[in-house]
């Protein structure tokens, strides 16, 4: 479930700070665009960038989620304004739905080309305290861990004769609800074990920390950031 791809690409060779700032610039670009045609173009560009970063396997995992996000956002921005008697249009709803998907593509590009250690390194070099950066980076680690725990729970329930495959959606939902409690128990146990492991390794003992990562900030990093800043400035103007 880890989304980082151990491959060689232009984005993988960028400096961690460049990747993090580029993610922010890509999100800002999506926020500033308010026309359907332009946001579709941006969505296409982000899609191409993700494929160039060898992120096709991640796109294959998440294309259903992208479709669901688009459909639900489109329906919400039609139904809610209609119920509140506020002016609305199909074009505006489609623009907002596509904007949500561009956010997801920008995030996928980032996690495809950035390791967890690089993410922590970038945040600390930008001035964030290490403890805060570590806590934020735990999201990258815990989501795959929860997913693996859920797979273990589902496999255990199937081995006990629980039919999760042939049941209808309503019955399947009823069967999955008790598993949430088991998953929460796993999460509490893992949190306790992680806290003990961090204490045993002296986490937080020294305010100054070193890193085995020593990336080089080069011309390509500066060029990418300049292009992104120029795009955002043009949109502001």
Stretch (H or E) spanning 73: helix 56-83
Q: DSSP per residue over 196-211, as a string?
A: HHHHHTTTTS-S----
Residue 1: pLDDT above 70?
no
Both structure tokens of 231: 């795009």
Residue 98 pLDDT level (bands cut at 50, 70, 90): very high
Given a cut of 60, whether residue 110 has pLDDT beyond it is yes
Q: Of the given ranges (15-24, 55-64, 107-116, 200-209), which has the lowest mean pLDDT?
A: 200-209
**Domain definitions of the chain by residue range:** 16-114+214-236, 129-200
Tokens matching residue 227: 């292009």
Tokens in use for 181? 């409690």
Distance CA 55, CA 49 (A): 9
**pLDDT tens-digit readout, 150-163:** 888 888 888 888 77
pLDDT of residue 53: 93
Q: What pLDDT does residue 157 have?
A: 82
pLDDT band at 207 (very low <50, low <70, confident <90, very high): low
**What's 84's DSSP letter?**
T
CB 203 within 8 A of CB 135: no
Q: Which residues of 125-136 are buried (b: 16+ CB within 10 A; e: fewer)?
A: beeeebeebbee
* Residue (of 87, 89, 105) closest to 39 by Cα position: 105
- Distance (Å, whole) CA 199 – CA 195: 6
pLDDT in tens, 51-60: 999 999 989 9
Using the predicted structure, report yes or no on whether residue 26 has a pLDDT greater than 60: yes
Q: How far is CA 161 from CA 151, 153, 171, 179, 181, in A?
A: 16, 13, 15, 15, 19
Residue 236 burial (C-beta neighbours within 10 Å; 0-12, 13-18, 19+) = exposed
Q: What are φ and ψ of residue 221, in 5° steps?
A: -65, -45
Reply yes or no on whether the pLDDT at 202 is more than 70.
yes
Q: Which tokens in the block code for residue 173?
A: 């939902």
Whole-number average pLDDT of the chain = 86
Residue whose pair of structure tokens reads 């080069």 in the numeric block: 218
């Amino acid at each position: 479930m880890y989304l980082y791809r151990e491959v060689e690409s232009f984005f993988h060779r960028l400096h961690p700070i460049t990747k993090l700032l580029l993610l922010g610039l890509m999100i800002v670009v999506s926020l500033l665009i308010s026309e359907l045609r332009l946001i579709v173009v941006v969505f296409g560009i982000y899609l191409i960038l993700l494929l160039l970063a060898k992120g096709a396997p991640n796109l294959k995992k998440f294309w259903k989620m992208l479709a669901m996000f688009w459909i639900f956002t489109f329906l919400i921005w039609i139904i809610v304004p209609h119920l509140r008697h506020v002016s609305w249009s199909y074009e505006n709803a489609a623009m907002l739905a596509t904007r949500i998907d561009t956010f997801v593509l920008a995030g996928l590009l980032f996690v495809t080309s950035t390791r967890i250690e690089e993410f922590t390194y970038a945040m600390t070099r930008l001035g964030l305290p290490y403890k805060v950066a570590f806590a934020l980076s735990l999201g990258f680690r815990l989501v795959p861990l929860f997913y693996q725990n859920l797979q273990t729970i589902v496999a255990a329930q199937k081995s006990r004769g629980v039919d999760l495959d042939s049941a209808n959606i309503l019955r399947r939902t009823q069967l999955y609800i008790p598993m949430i409690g088991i998953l929460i128990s796993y999460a509490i146990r893992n949190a306790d074990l992680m806290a003990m492991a961090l204490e045993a390794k002296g986490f937080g003992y020294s305010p100054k920390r070193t890193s085995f990562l020593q990336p080089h900030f080069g011309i390509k990093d500066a060029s990418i950031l300049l292009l992104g800043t120029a795009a955002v400035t043009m949109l502001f103007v």
